[in-house]
Amino acid sequence: MVDDLDSVLTEEQRLIRDQARRIVRKEIAPRAAAIDATGEFPRENLRLLAEVGLLGLVMPEECGGSGEGVVSLCLAVEEIARACASTATAFATQTHCAYPILMAGSDEQKRRWIPALASGEKIGAIAFTEPQAGSDISAMSTTATRREGHYVLNGRKVFITNGPEADVVVVFASTDRSAGKKGFSAFVVERGAEGFRAGQPEKKMGICGSGTCSMEFEACELPESHRLGAEGDGFPLALRFFDRSRPGIGALAVGIAQAAFDYALAYATERKQFGRAIAQFQAIQFMLADMATAVTAARLLVYHAAAETDRASRGAGAAASMAKLLASDTAMKVATDAVQILGGYGYTKDYPVERYMRDAKVTQIFEGTNQIQRLVIARSLLAGAATLGRS
């Protein structure tokens, strides 16, 4: 089932997937339970992924990357997530930090920050969310005030993935409060900048090894050269960013769902009740059939969205939201069903399915909650209907 994309992948993409699968099985899977139990950031895993060129998949060759597209990134994310969602989240976030720099940065800015992200020398993060600006990023209150030759950042960000370890953070802030979302701009803040402080890691339900924290900016001075693009370009850049990032979150969810299904299937063929394997009972067979169908459907939609993004299709944004929505809901449902199939054992930490269930939940929340995805999809549908009505 995990190879049901073979007919549509290029040879290069299959090689990327297979390379990711090998290193995951050999190096990452054996550490996954310990990372979840201790909450240790998977820095060693990222180093190994960087060594084989996977950490810089979407980054240009001239900056130390491979110059691949979103489809290739999703293939790697899915394989990693099948073993360790914490590592997959940290891995995807590294690329998320690079995206705004690649989309809006100057050649000099790309040369300055992208090679270190591609090699894993520096850990990256991206900061949108604030205490009063979660789903509504237009409510951001962090400010960047321009002064002679520099900007001064003031504000607070929360739930920043990779935050406790981050060396490079792309921060979105308002450079013109009177202009609303048209006054947002993006900046790169480096670890050690005066006035910048990362908080303590949050204690979370799942993806425990993926550090998450708040960030404080108090009279944090940044050179003008740290602004990405022009003033006021931040909100359109954020929207373009989410179009590119959401397929990756969908792939993460598919990886978790596949892992949960695989374990439940194997368990059902071995666990005996009433004198036979529980997989012989129709009730369990129907659950497994529904799980397999849902995982396959989610995977195909994720890679359709990734391909649309690589083609810069007009429908890429809506497809990305659909993929993230379906894949994350599928991950939660399949992981929950896997716990049910294992019964009491599934509820213990002796088996991995409870971890899959905990890890799956956040995929319905970050990169825009699934309620927000439904809004994005509906608006796209209504905009298309209005266009048809005028034709």
Q: Which residues are catalytic?
A: 367
Q: How many angstroms separate the CA atoms of 355 and 85, rounded? A: 9
Tell me the angle at which helices 282-310 and 70-83 cross, rounded to the nearest 10 degrees: 150
In degrees and rounded to multiples of 5, residue 190 shows phi and psi of -105, 150
Q: Which two tokens stand for residue 304?
A: 């359709």
* Rg (alpha carbons) of the chain, rounded to whole number: 21
One-letter amino acid at 306 equals A
The greatest distance separating any two alpha carbons of the chain, rounded to the nearest whole angstrom, comes to 80
Q: How many CB atoms lie within 10 A of CB 178?
A: 7
3-state secondary structure (DSSP) of residue 190: strand
3-state secondary structure (DSSP) of residue 58: coil
Q: Which two tokens stand for residue 279?
A: 């997989």
**Of 265, 290, 255, nearest in space to 342 by CA:** 265
One-letter amino acid at 205 equals M
What does the H/E/C string look like for 208-255? CCCCEEEEEEEEEEEEHHHEECCCCCHHHHHHHHHHHHHHHHHHHHHH
Q: Which two tokens stand for residue 128?
A: 């949108």
Write the DSSP assignment of 317-375 as a string of letters. Answer: HHHHHHHHHHHHHHHHHHHHHHHHHHGGGGGSTTSTHHHHHHHHHHHTTTTS-HHHHHH
Cite the DSSP H helix spans in the chain.
Answer: 11-23, 32-38, 43-51, 70-83, 85-104, 107-119, 234-270, 282-310, 316-342, 353-363, 370-390
According to DSSP, residue 65 is labeled: S
Region class of 155: left (phi > 0), else alpha (psi between -120 and 50), else beta: left
